[in-house]
Amino acid sequence: MVNAFVRKLSGLADLAEEDVATLVASTRQTRHFPARRDLIREGDRPGPVFVVLSGWACRYKILPSGTRQITSFMLPGDSCDLHIAILDEMDHSIQTITKAAIATISRPAMEDMLDRSPRIGRALYAAQLIDEATLRAWIVSMGRRSSMERVAHLMCELYVRLQGVAGASPSSTVELPVSQLLLADALGMSPVHINRVIRRLREAGVMEISRRSLRITDPVGLVHVAGFDENYLHRRLKTIATIY
């Protein structure tokens, strides 16, 4: 059984069997963390590369006023920048959202892996470019999308990302282990308003959030209100709209 990391990278490059073995070996050393535990904090010296094998995490930054902004979600299979060690210190923190299994890849191990397999390197670079594209998509959302569109867009993103990694059969329902307060911190809105927007989306019949899960009742409609163009996720796989 390969892990989420391998599943994700397999979708980004043609990995050989030995690559898979290398990746599995490199992520053998895993630690389990409870929810809401910082893996690394702003100002810390960057350490090894983190790989999320199960559970959710997020990158965030606290402002002087005390408010928080989440800059990205890390889902199973996601890892942080492969060359993070180049920098002097972290400019943001990383925290688990749920219980999570985190593997760490030391810098020498990472460099060894990049040296040995160009395919792994290619997959990791592709992953990084997708992460960047996602950051840009968030900027677009925050800058020019209405709150309805913004929430819908994030749900589309998370849905597609989860489908891409889970390898599970397409389902209209995915687990969404985030509180509305967390969504607020991710979307730059107030928790109260997030709640109202979710309600409007439910009343519009496109999606529902309940019991920590997201159910997409009208995929086409959701994609439409979100103005979602999944090209930025650079997946040449089935699209959310064509699954159904």
Binding site for a second copy (CB under 8 A): 43, 59, 61, 63-65, 67-69, 71-72, 81, 83-84, 86-89, 91-92, 122, 125-126, 128-129, 131-133, 135-140, 142-145, 187-188, 227, 231-232, 234, 236
Binding at 234: pick from a second copy, DNA, none (beta carbon under 5-8 Å per type): a second copy
> Which CB sits closer to DNA, 36 or 116?
36
Binding at 191: pick from DNA, a second copy, none (beta carbon under 5-8 Å per type): DNA
If one asks whether residue 213 binds DNA (CB under 7 A), the answer comes out as: no
Residue 146 CB, shortest distance to DNA, in Å, is 5
DSSP bridge partners of 175:
213
8 A C-beta contact, residue 82 and residue 110: yes
Q: How far apart are CA 86 and CA 101, in angstroms?
A: 25
> Which CB sits closer to a second copy, 24 or 85?
85
Binding residue for DNA, selected from 191, 205, 238, 242, defined by CB under 7 A: 191
Residue 211 CB, shortest distance to a second copy, in Å, is 27
8 A C-beta contact, residue 42 and residue 18: no
Closest by Cα among 158, 153, 152, 159 to 201: 152
8 A C-beta contact, residue 27 and residue 78: no
Closest by Cα among 142, 143, 137, 181 to 158: 137
DSSP strands (E only) in the chain:
30-33, 38-40, 49-54, 57-62, 68-74, 93-96, 100-105, 173-175, 207-210, 213-216
> Which CB sits closer to a second copy, 87 or 181?
87
8 A C-beta contact, residue 164 and residue 235: yes
Binding residue for DNA, selected from 47, 121, 188, 221, defined by CB under 7 A: 188
If one asks whether residue 199 binds DNA (CB under 7 A), the answer comes out as: yes
> Which CB sits closer to DNA, 28 or 211?
211
If one asks whether residue 37 binds DNA (CB under 7 A), the answer comes out as: no
3 state SS of 1: coil
Binding region for DNA (CB under 7 A)? 146-148, 179-181, 188-193, 195-196, 198-199, 210-211
